[in-house]
Amino acid sequence: MQKLLSYIRRGVDDYKMIEENDHITVGVSGGKDSLALLCGLARLRMFYPKPFKLSAVTLDMGFGMDFTPVSDLCKELEVEYVLKKTDIAEILFDIRKESNPCSLCAKMRRGALHDAALELGSHKVALGHHNDDALDTFMLSLVYEGRVNCFSPVTYLDRKDITLIRPMIYAPENFVIGFAKKYELPIVKNRCPEDKRTKREYAKNLIKQLEKENPGFKTRLFTAIEGSHAGNFGIFPE
């Protein structure tokens, strides 16, 4: 837990993610990343010098997944939990019959999550993206869009008055995997038929291959992304 806290604390402090009396809503999918973030922020809440309130929201996409273990974890952590039912799966696969549903799905999930946070009175949403997610996003943008771009550790959405934060920006995925196993996090298997078949999976495998052929590649790539952000190159957009 201490190592996870060090990653989260570094991200929170470096990018000034938490202000006093913030009400932070964690988007909890039931996967290892969001569950690890939830546990880390729940522990950080106990001693962080700027007090903050913590809630968690799970979107039920309509795939028949059981989120009872997530609800039980939230009770254990003393975190308010909301399971919001949606018809996203029905819209994507039954009504629209999307052949490439991922982009629309992401857009619909973001909207539903932001609305759920606002209903709780929260204007700050924490997402479980880790260091490898940032690298994958950069590679996706480069390969498929011809752009040098990545999500930002902190993003303000003025249309909804919501700030997105990614406290695990420094945590590598292999650490998160180990943490989830060690603490036996109640992972809920994703039943989406497109899971593990996306372009993101291709980008992830490409980066793994480059790391294998050039040890240290991932570290150097993230350093380049951070350095370009500091120089206002725009890889981490404001």
Contact call for residues 230 and 153 (beta carbons, < 8 A): no
Q: How far apart are CA 105 and CA 88, in angstroms?
A: 7
DSSP conformational letter for 187:
P
Query: Is pLDDT at 201 greater than 60 in this prediction?
Result: yes
Q: What is the pLDDT of residue 195?
A: 62
**Cα gap 23→222, rounded to integer Å:** 29
CA dist., res. 151 & res. 131, Å (int): 11
With cut-offs at 50, 70 and 90, classify the pLDDT of residue 202. confident
Q: pTM of the prediction?
A: 0.87
The whole-number pLDDT of residue 61 equals: 85
Host H or E run for residue 84: strand 80-85
- Render pLDDT for 94-143 as a digit per residue (tens, 0 to 9): 787 766 777 788 888 899 999 999 999 999 999 999 999 999 999 988 88
Residue 193: is its pLDDT beyond 80? no
Is residue 144 pLDDT above 70, yes or no? yes
Looking at residue 235, its pLDDT comes to 47
- d(CA 88, CA 77) in angstroms, rounded, equals 29
CA gap 168, 131 in Å, rounded: 7
132: enclosing H helix or E strand: helix 131-140
Q: In whole numbers, what is the pLDDT of the chain averaged over residues?
A: 89
Query: Which of the two residues, 93 and 10, has the higher pLDDT score?
Result: 10
Domains of the chain: 2-230 (3.40.50.620)
Hey, what are 102's tokens?
């991922």
Q: Any idea what DSSP says for residue 190?
A: P
Kindly provide the b/e burial profile for residues 185-203, where b requires at least 16 CB atoms within 10 angstroms of the residue's own CB: bbbbeeebeeeeeeeeeeb
Strands 22-27, 52-60: parallel, antiparallel or unpaired by DSSP?
A: parallel
Beta strand pairing status for 154-157 and 162-165? antiparallel
- Mean pLDDT on 4-14: 96
pLDDT of residue 237: 45
The pLDDT value given to residue 196: 60
> 3-class DSSP state for residue 120?
coil
